[in-house]
Amino acid sequence: MNSAETARQLRGFGWIGIAAILVILAGNLLFAPLSALLVLAWAQASETPWSAIGFVRPKSWLRSVAIGLLFGALFKLVMKAVVMPLLGAPAVNATYHYVAGNAAALPYILYAVIIGAGFGEETVFRGYLFERLGHLLGTSRRARIAIVLITAVLFASLHYPDQGWPGVEQAAVTGLVFGGIYTLTGQLFMLMVAHAAFDVMAVALIYWNLESRVAHLFFT
């Protein structure tokens, strides 16, 4: 099989294409962000333009960083102070409460949220899955809505094993918001920054024991 045929098979949904999808999605079982790195390898091998998976040069790197940082941090505060209390979520994230005041835990947790989540999850759940589902379902308005919903559900389900239903609820909302933005822009960089800022703000609230205070800012 020559390189052109291999590329065609990887872009398709035969056994080679499906195997590639399964290998990519399983990558993070070994380490994060292996799945995202496999996406980049798939794009190269399948001759898929990087722009098709959201790797588009922004008009202004500085503006994209500033918007991403501000949006991500504020989005997390709104989720913590308004959305999650309305959904009945506990004020404290028990899974990650070990980070509170624990400086030794910060290097790994920050690596996980900036590289694993910001770069890794956006590459897979927005860039890659939007491209694959778009190839399968098309680009109509209904198809785009379905893709946002499907990827949000998949993204949310990923958070159940370690964070339970509160993690699922939060990830579903963020998946819908980030997915909606990606549908409109087709660009990942700002979303990567926003996702990282969202999670770094979450870590900051936990580390400085501010979760409960923010969660009860409007609701007792």
Q: How confident is the model at residue 2, as a pLDDT?
A: 75
- Chain mean pLDDT for the chain: 96
Mean local confidence (pLDDT), 204-214: 97
Residue 34 contacts residue 28 (beta carbons within 8 Å): yes
In a domain, 206, yes or no: yes
Kindly state whether residues 140 and 115 are assigned to the same domain: yes
Residue 5 corresponds to which tokens in the numbers above? 């045929």
Under 8 Å CB-to-CB from 219, ≥6 apart: which residues? 85, 86
pTM here is 0.95
Kindly state whether residues 20 and 69 are assigned to the same domain: no
Kindly state whether residues 70 and 23 are assigned to the same domain: no
In a domain, 119, yes or no: yes
Kindly state whether residues 117 and 201 are assigned to the same domain: yes
Kindly state whether residues 28 and 98 are assigned to the same domain: no
Kindly state whether residues 184 and 118 are assigned to the same domain: yes
- Per-residue pLDDT at 1 exceeds 70: no
Residue 45 contacts residue 7 (beta carbons within 8 Å): yes
Residue 89 contacts residue 169 (beta carbons within 8 Å): yes
Kindly state whether residues 42 and 93 are assigned to the same domain: no
Quote the CA–CA distance of 217 and 195 in Å, as a whole number. Answer: 23
Residue 173 corresponds to which tokens in the numbers above? 């909302």
Kindly state whether residues 32 and 66 are assigned to the same domain: no
Tens digits of residue pLDDT in 149-172: 999 999 999 999 999 999 999 999
DSSP state of 57: -
Task: Please give the backbone phi and psi of residue 101, each rounded to the nearest 5 degrees, phi first.
Answer: 65, 10
Kindly state whether residues 27 and 111 are assigned to the same domain: no
In a domain, 220, yes or no: no
Under 8 Å CB-to-CB from 136, ≥6 apart: which residues? 13
In a domain, 53, yes or no: no
Q: Report the sign of the C-alpha dihedral through residues 186, 68, 122, 61, in that order.
A: positive
Kindly state whether residues 132 and 170 are assigned to the same domain: yes
In a domain, 81, yes or no: yes
Kindly state whether residues 8 and 107 are assigned to the same domain: no
Kindly state whether residues 146 and 38 are assigned to the same domain: no
What is the domain extent for residue 41? Answer: 1-48
